[in-house]
Chains A and B, each alone.
Chain A
């Protein structure tokens, strides 16, 4: 898939998001969901949130070994744009977690989803500013929202 076609699909997907909000309003009288549909939630995590987070996290790193120190960071406008677009996906995925399709009656769910939205917005700004340290810093807060939500809501399989 070409970069332009990916961009078109991404834009199309983001245009659909307001429609999600519309459906949220229409179903407001329905009983609140209790964790959403697990399969859909796992798919959202595995196929959308996790890959997008990995791009943001993996954008900046330093590796020290016997071969020396290697710093990695986006170097071109296109590489920064990739980081930004994945941060946008994270933000909008956080918003999706707040809709009736996935929302949980436990207020901690909304708190962590909002934390993901806010930290992703920081990542978007850092990418727009080509701020290497900013991307490194916001990676921690993105992970914290993920880990704390998993800690509370993700069933840990028995050993």
Chain B
């Protein structure tokens, strides 16, 4: 075993018991489809401020059944959102929002958020800059 492999093996052993990742870090195209834009309107049920991506959970009525479906919206890092004017209380639970973003490649109710329009008309950009998302080119 050469030195670099030994180092790798030793560190891997140390962290073999580390916690399961909460969320993945990735370039946009690894998880989301730039050819599948989506617009979702629903009520906010959870906001998670955490690195590497903050998450917004909304309850979106199914257009056919009317039953609410839970969607998770990936957003930028907490400090990205803070620089754009977000605070932890910007979006209260139950607030109706419209999210423009891109669907996950795996077909789940997950999207990468771009713009979010709040009930009072305010529009906030929530995307993850520098990950190769379509809105990166517009910034």
Contacts and interface: CB of A to CB of B under 8 A. Distances in A.
A76 interface: no
B1 to A, nearest CB: 10
A136 interface: yes
B48 interface: yes
Given A19-B3, A139-B77, A57 B12 contact: no
A147 B14 contact: no
A96 B8 contact: yes
B130 A148 contact: yes
Interface in A61-119: 61-66, 69, 86, 89, 92-93, 96, 99, 101-102
Chain A contact patch, size range:
35 or more
B93 A142 contact: no
Interface residues of B, number: 49
A151 B132 contact: yes
B13 A16 contact: no
Contacts of B49: 61-64
Nearest to B56: A64
Interface in A26-43: 40, 43
Contacts of A61: 48-51
A64 B14 CA distance: 33
Interface in B23-43: 23-30, 33
B12 A47 contact: yes
Given A61-B50, A147-B26, A12 B3 contact: no
B52 A65 contact: no
Contacts of A58: 19, 22, 50-51
Contact of B10 (A13, A50, A51, A86): A13
A62 B16 CA distance: 27
Interface string B84-105: 0000100001000000000001
Interface of A: 1, 6, 9-10, 12-13, 16-17, 19-20, 22-23, 40, 43-44, 47-48, 50-58, 60-66, 69, 86, 89, 92-93, 96, 99, 101-102, 136-137, 139-140, 142-144, 146-148, 150-151, 154, 156, 159
Top 3 nearest A-B pairs (CB, nearest first) are A139-B51, A13-B10, A143-B52
